[in-house]
Amino acid sequence: MMQADSPRIVLASASAARKLLLEQAGIRFEAQSAHIDEAGVKQSAAASGMSAPDAAVLLANLKAKRIARRDPDAIVVGCDQLLVFEGRWFDKPATVAEARDHLGALRGRTHTLVTAVLCQRGDQRLWHHVAQPRLTMRAFSDAFLDTYLQAEGGALTTTVGAYRLEGLGVNLFDKVEGDHAAVLGLPLLPLLGYLRQLGVIGT
């Protein structure tokens, strides 16, 4: 696949799943973690009555802007994902015990992963897209849950849903509706379409 040497692409994320999606698509990019107070921004957004899609875009934009300030010539790709269940926004569990509580609440029910991606260059937000895949967990047993928690361990605290669909977490589900890449944290096809529109990758 043809990709222009300029502008460079920077992914404002340390997520292994997001990096792998871009790598598998043949995109040349750098990855830089953008440290922002995600919990504080979410709390403020929720308190102000902001919708989950708008909050996801806000968080993605804050991450991208932080990288773009120090690398203004690059196309910075920012991403964020909110798990929404019965009006509640879930945070990444801090402990395995908290992950167990999250999964217990989601078991046998359907939740939405509100997933935003945007492109920023310098101080200009160029484009954004929000995907909202819906996932239905099966009514797994307590014994299965305990086995799953033991197998995944600390990895549970790295994802908003306490599961990795690209790994053992797939066993938690009955049905996934929507973009698989968006479930993993990056709506890839819309992003590739925009990069083609910009002329960064070949048409």
9-198 — its CATH code?
3.90.950.10
Residue extents of the structural domains in the chain: 9-198
In this prediction, residue 153 carries a pLDDT of 92
3-state secondary structure the chain: CCECCCCCEEECCCCHHHHHHHHHCCCCCEECCCCCCHHHHHHHHHHCCCCHHHHHHHHHHHHHHHHHHHCCCCEEEEEEEEEEECCEEECCCCCHHHHHHHHHHHCCCEEEEEEEEEEEECCEEEEEEEECCEEEECCCCHHHHHHHHHHHHHHHHHCCCCCCCCCHHHHHEEEEECCHHHHCCCCHHHHHHHHHHHCCECC
In this prediction, residue 1 carries a pLDDT of 67
Mean pLDDT by 10 residues, the chain (203 residues): 91 95 97 90 92 97 96 97 95 93 97 98 97 98 96 91 93 96 97 96 90
In this prediction, residue 91 carries a pLDDT of 86
Query: Pick the catalytic residue: 80, 101, 146, 174?
Result: 80
Residue 37 is a catalytic residue: no
In this prediction, residue 109 carries a pLDDT of 98
In this prediction, residue 38 carries a pLDDT of 87
In this prediction, residue 113 carries a pLDDT of 97
